[in-house]
Structure 1
Amino acid sequence: MPFEQITLTLADGRCAALLARPATPRPGHPGVILYMDAFGLRPALGAMAERLADNGYAVLVPDLYYRVADHGAFDAKTAFQVEETRVRLRALMAQTPPALTEQDGPAFIAALTEAGARGPLGAVGYCMGGGRAVVAAAAFPDRIAAAASFHGGNLATEAPDSPHLRAAAITARLYVGSAGIDAGFPPDQSARLAEALRSAEVDHIIENYAGMAHGWAVPDHRVHDRAGAARHWTRLLTLFDECL
């Protein structure tokens, strides 16, 4: 079914979101929070939500920048190539740290519940949303049974709010798909994340998509790769099918 645009009322303001409902819900009525990449809400993310809905999941895509008025969406093909928009994007990302996931999560979960997702939830994030999905799994272990990050950045840094530091609280199965070479998630971060997840006995896979660039899975991104995106969908749907 086509996605719809809704507005959520949160403590820090009104949050625009995209909502896709399944024509035929899966048994158990599962749902998914799809955490956006850096470029904001736009039709490409709505299309991804619709694909998940076509597989039986209710899907919410919240605007993680909702605290900043009049930010709009960005062209995923050019935004980081132009100085003015690159500066704006980096400022927006800096104002949207992973810690806000725990603050916003109850409202996102409530919206999915109202949309009919009364069962277990999945979380998936792209780019900056990848860290959000990991933190959500740690913050809401009673609801989130599976989480995935694709070309997520800063998943295991030395910052005090780095997502990998929440590993001990994760009970969900976790999948991390990384770009072949990604400055936002270099080998040392991958090793640090793997150590944290193994030490916490988290059921997880970290998979490197050799030859893929950061952003390959999102259809309107300038480095979108059709074969790589298809592989990402196989991994994501398998994860959700098995866990939700």
Structure 2
Amino acid sequence: MAKQDITIKTQDGIARAGVFHPSHQPAAKVPGVILYMDAFGPRPALDIMAERLAGEGYVVLVPDLFYRYGDYGPLDAKTAFSEEPTRTKLRSMISDTTQEMTRRDSAAFLEALTQAGATGRIGTVGYCMGGSRAINAAAAYPDRIAAAASFHGGRLANDAPDSPHLNVATIKGHVYVGSAGVDESFPPEQSARLAEALRLAEIDHVIENYVGMGHGWAVPDSRVYDERGAERHWRRLLTFFDETLR
């Protein structure tokens, strides 16, 4: 599956993105997926993941959520948080790229995905900081997004006013959350709070704890990447999308 580099006009500027097309498309409507990046931005590791999704028959869009920072250069997932000045800059980029920004951007992302050939149902999946954005997008655009998945997503039920658990009542689709076994950004109390919110909102959902996995286990260039855990994540994600988007 060849990658197509595109630009997307948003309310705030021009976002770079990658589009990945299935090698062969069935006659039926083709489902689409927005893959919301982790904290280290678009890079070959995410391309590999998008290619795998495309190989299953999805049109996949991987947008750069940090586009407001211009050409910020490649980030090394293994060292970005351990070396200066990258650590300080990256933390600033994460905190300054708000949930509301990504919510607004997602309208343009959805249109770009449609223009790329996603004529069927649309799903979202996010990793790390992208997990909360995948869920908030489903809440913001319930008539467009039929399924939202988060893997090692952080701050899914925190005390901030833009916390995903506060918005789930508007979701019309399905939700899957795969949490790292030990993850300070999504501790057990947040998991319980999110589960309660989803249940009260009568959202079809699964929250699954990947025991023994660290935050970032599913992304191939992560310093805590776990092949067995990553394959388990793929089985869950592909089954989830097959059941909700086909």
Report the TM range for the smaller structure's normalisation: over 0.9
Query: Is contact 1:10–1:104 with CA below 8 Å preserved after alignment?
Result: yes
Q: What is residue 152 of structure 1 aligned with on the other side?
A: 153
- Show structure 1 runs of 5+ residues with no match: none
Deviation at 1:177, TM superposition (A): 0.3
1:1-244 equivalences in 2 (<5 Å): 1-25=1-25, 27-244=28-245
Deviation at 1:25, TM superposition (A): 2.8
Alpha-carbon distance in 2 for matches of 1:114, 1:70: 25
- Show structure 2 runs of 5+ residues with no match: none
After TM superposition, the runs of 4+ consecutive aligned structure 1 residues lying more than 6 A away are: none
Which amino acid is the alignment partner of residue 14 of structure 2? R
* TM-score, normalisation: structure 2: 0.97
Which amino acid is the alignment partner of residue 121 of structure 2? P
* TM-score, normalisation: structure 1: 0.98
Alpha-carbon distance in 2 for matches of 1:185, 1:73: 27
Alpha-carbon distance in 2 for matches of 1:38, 1:121: 23
Deviation at 1:70, TM superposition (A): 2.4
Deviations 1:46-83, CA, capped at 9 Å, x for gaps: 11111000000000000000111222231001111113
Alpha-carbon distance in 2 for matches of 1:179, 1:151: 5
Which amino acid is the alignment partner of residue 167 of structure 1? V
- RMSD (CA atoms): 1.0
Deviations 1:125-166, CA, capped at 9 Å, x for gaps: 000000000001101111111110000000000111111100
Secondary structure (helix, strand or coil) at the match of 1:15 reads strand
Query: Is contact 2:103–2:133 with CA below 8 Å preserved after alignment?
Result: no
Query: Is contact 1:123–1:144 with CA below 8 Å preserved after alignment?
Result: yes
Secondary structure (helix, strand or coil) at the match of 2:14 reads strand
Percent of matched pairs sharing the same residue: 63
Deviations 1:163-219, CA, capped at 9 Å, x for gaps: 110010011110000000000000110011001000100100000000000000000
Alpha-carbon distance in 1 for matches of 2:219, 2:62: 14
Bigger mean CA deviation after superposition, 42-51 or 5-14: 5-14
Secondary structure (helix, strand or coil) at the match of 1:99 reads helix
Query: Is contact 2:129–2:154 with CA below 8 Å preserved after alignment?
Result: yes
Secondary structure (helix, strand or coil) at the match of 2:117 reads coil
Alpha-carbon distance in 2 for matches of 1:25, 1:175: 26
Number of equivalences: 244
Deviation at 1:23, TM superposition (A): 1.7
Which amino acid is the alignment partner of residue 33 of structure 1? I
